[in-house]
Structure 1
Amino acid sequence: MTEERSEGENGSAGFSLVAVLVFMLIVSAIIVPFAVTAKTKLMIANNEVEQERLSLLAEGLANVVSSELANGSGTEKLRLDATPIACRSGEFTFDVRIQDHSGLIDLNAADAHLLSLGFASLGFDRQTSEELAEAAIQFRGSTNAFAAQAEPASSVGPPQNKQAPFESVSELQEFSALASTPLHDLHDVFTVFSKRGTLSLDLAPSRLRTVLADASGSGASTTEGASEGSTYSVEVTARRDGSGIAGQVGFIIEKYPASAAGFRRLSRSPAADITKLAATTFSENCDALFGPEVAQILRGWAS
């Protein structure tokens, strides 16, 4: 009798244990997905906060660089031909690219030859580059609007010509041959702000300078020596070492003495892909880029 009772109690205990284990498995199956989802959302939120934090920092540093360009101190110490330069503060790296628009091709003022060299710097062959240059001239307007309307549409150009000046470099993406060209690459060659039919060879970005050098003696409208520019593209990237998270900003600014800052923003410009900044030149600290006061703040912030 005692043995039967003991066997019954053992069986009951075993059943209870199995029931508890099954219950725990069911609860785990319900809770674990929620826990994983919550952890994932927390990681995403933390990454978004970090990116926003770095973006705000990059924008602040872009304002510092813009002020230096406006007061003239930046034009003496900074590269103005889109050559990337960077500094490190603690575990953070700051990349800066500045392009004086005197070294770019103005879509509204350049002649067909200079425009074709600009398109050639983007990798197009000579014939396509010349066709794109002619399409750009037709797009921006003709002295004879009726004759322009009678001309057949270009196979590399836009569906319809604007017959008015370019307002933005982004309008080039309306051209069929340029639709897939990254907007940043177009901004690296062309502008609508210099208002000049020539460009300063010393301020041209490397890809454009190479093409112009190869075409030397061909009648390209270039000038030697840096000119006094008033419009600049300013790009700043802030990133933490070892992290794929980065904050980026890009602006086109011009000197504007009426403003307390000495400059004003004309538009946003697409920032460079940080993976393409491999040729970055590092300075020892951030003093040269942003000034000693800002560099001191960055050191305190990064510590």
Structure 2
Amino acid sequence: MVIDPSSGNDEGFALVAVLVFMLIVAAVVAPFALNARTRLMIASNEIEHDRLSMVADGLVNVVASELFDGSGAERLPLNAEPARCHAGHFSFDLRVQDHGGLIDLNAASDPLLTRGVASFGFDPKRAEEIARAIIAFRSPPHAFTAGVQQQSSLGPRQNKFAVFESVSELQEFSALASIPLRDLYGVFTVDLKQGSIALAKAPKRLRNVIDGSHDDEAGAQDKSGGTVYTIEITARRDGAGIAGQAGLIVEKSSLTAAGFRRVSRMPAVETGDSGLTSLAPTAGCDALFGSAVAQILGRWS
């Protein structure tokens, strides 16, 4: 039998050709496979985020019900102090602010507004000027000065001559425009319609600038149940960077079966906000949400 010496070369060339072809196919397919995997991970993370957000939103309703039926007001911190609990593979961060401890933009006097503005680090003179601009913004015009408007350089371009409808209107003031909206919501309210504040319910930022013993507008001993609350909850899977958040202002209402109504949503909490996480003491979820809800959370995965 005669062996053709060129046949080995043909087979080797064919093998090389197949390998080159496979490399080309892999080079073309690999980016598509990687892109598909990335999209799958993104979709999975979005689903997890949405699921955690829905749980957080539901827990806001649970806490609101507890506050307005009286069972939660006795055991939950009402001055924005953070609390945290673990259940199953998840952690839940909670912060509740009774609006009785905030300054109402439509009812507070010049001195109280000045203290609220000063809590953002303004010196007393500038804080007083901004407070006067706030009062001018909300106050109706005087009959003898109609058409004449003395504008403060610290306020908006034009006064509203009507009540504040939202705390977010403060960002129209040039002096306050750079302050994060969440921080403004942590000091002021438009939902209480009350000229004084309860110092025991005031957040730390306000307690640092208000001395209840020298301020008739600060009721240091008022610990009664409130009618308006800000409730913020963040839900996280342990060991994961994905979080779901819900923050709402809720108001007591006899017109709904739940006993309260949602007034508005809060600006979103940034992931890793230390105000809701690293400083939050750990407690049992039954202490925050009740034993029945804690059991459900413990079984949830």
The Cα offsets for residues 259-295 of structure 1, whole Å up to 9 and x where unpaired, read as 1111111111124434222210111x21111111111
CA distance in 2, matches of 1:148, 1:155: 20
The one of 49, 61, 64 equivalent to 1:63 is 61
Give 5+ residue unaligned stretches, structure 1.
Answer: none
The Cα offsets for residues 32-85 of structure 1, whole Å up to 9 and x where unpaired, read as 000000000000000000001000100111100000011111111111101111
- Residue 146 of structure 1 deviates from its aligned partner by 5.8
Higher helix fraction: Structure 1 or Structure 2?
1
The Cα offsets for residues 211-264 of structure 1, whole Å up to 9 and x where unpaired, read as 113x863x4621121244200101111011121111101111111123111111
| 1:174-253 pair list within 5 angstroms | 174-213=172-211, 217=214, 219=215, 221-226=217-222, 227-253=224-250
CA distance in 2, matches of 1:141, 1:88: 48
CA distance in 1, matches of 2:154, 2:113: 14
For residue 293 of structure 1, what is the amino acid of its counterpart?
A
- The number of aligned residues is 297
Matched, 1:292 2:288: no
The one of 22, 25, 28 equivalent to 1:27 is 25
RMSD: 1.8
CA distance in 2, matches of 1:199, 1:175: 23
The one of 122, 127, 137 equivalent to 2:120 is 122
For residue 183 of structure 1, what is the amino acid of its counterpart?
L
- Residue 201 of structure 1 deviates from its aligned partner by 0.5
- TM superposition score normalised by structure 2: 0.93
Compared CA separation, residues 92 and 148, structure 1 to 2 (3 A): farther
Partner of 2:282: 282
- Contact in 2 for aligned 1:113/1:220 (Cα 8 Å): no
| 1:153-172 pair list within 5 angstroms | 153-172=151-170
CA distance in 1, matches of 2:289, 2:86: 12
CA distance in 2, matches of 1:168, 1:81: 20
The alignment-based identity, stated in percent, is 56
CA distance in 2, matches of 1:272, 1:145: 44
CA distance in 2, matches of 1:222, 1:196: 11
- Contact in 1 for aligned 2:59/2:289 (Cα 8 Å): yes
CA distance in 2, matches of 1:110, 1:153: 21
CA distance in 1, matches of 2:136, 2:102: 20
Shifted more, 189-198 versus 133-142: the winner is 133-142
Matched, 1:259 2:277: no
Give 5+ residue unaligned stretches, structure 2.
Answer: none
For residue 19 of structure 1, what is the amino acid of its counterpart?
A
Shifted more, 70-79 versus 224-233: the winner is 224-233
Compared CA separation, residues 220 and 32, structure 1 to 2 (3 A): farther
- TM superposition score normalised by structure 1: 0.93
- Residue 2 of structure 1 deviates from its aligned partner by 4.8
Compared CA separation, residues 181 and 149, structure 1 to 2 (3 A): farther
Compared CA separation, residues 105 and 288, structure 1 to 2 (3 A): same
